[in-house]
Amino acid sequence: MARSILITGCSSGIGHHAAQALSKQGWQVLATCRKQEDVDRLADQGLTAHRLDYTDTESIAQAVDWATAQTGGQLDALFNNGAYAMGGAVEDTATDGFRAIFETNFFGWHELTRRIVPIMRAQGQGRIVQCSSVLGFVAARMRGPYTATKHALEGYSDVLRLELHNTGIHVILLEPGPIDTMIRVNAQPHYDKWVEKHDTPWAPFYRKTLEPRLYATESKRDRFELTCEATTAKLIKALDSPRPRVRYRVTTPTYIAWYLKRLLPTRWLDRVLLKG
């Protein structure tokens, strides 16, 4: 039988590329995304798709029921991927903005994961792959809410890995750096809604640096930025390896940041990050 995988955040970017690639490799891909119109579009593309909104507990429960109905009660892998970013200084970001991003980027992931773990326990095996980020272990100015959710995810996944030791369930973190996705475009409404842009010492920075980049009409690839294919390649390794790594880093900046964090005192690392 084909191996099965439930993937979230498949409307575009990393999730969409992974769903298409794994489907071509013979996986039974169960693709999910937040909006019904995107679900319909995925179905038109030949994918088996369903709605799953991380902020809606009922939609998560329905998606799990749907997925297990598709597979006869089995599920070989879960790829938690759906998330969004939000620019702006920490001091300018409303507390409700932090709550909102944690609902999507962290609490929803937990709700889905805790519903999947019993399925994998019963079958004695499974892979839970979490799409983290280079910002899961280092920091960057103007990315406080997103960085906070990814740091939380890293700790959460480390604990889950320890708790699932000897169950046959592997918990794996993907840590991409710059990947060519819609993340900047998708961050715009959250910046508009939650960040104080005017009555703040950061206002000149927003106008001159952050907003021209955030609202750029033409997509300019960052230095070292890779396509989604790079992340999918590491995902496939995580799914296929008999003994998968705990972490798979993607893109040169992620490797550089990892080694600098291990080698440099924190203040020295800060100097490097402030130049980024």
Q: Which residues are known to be catalytic?
A: 146
The two three-digit tokens of residue 174, written as one number: 């993907």
Contact 234, 263 (CB under 8 A): no
Query: Which residue from 8, 268, 241 is spatially nearest to 130, judged by alpha carbons?
Result: 8
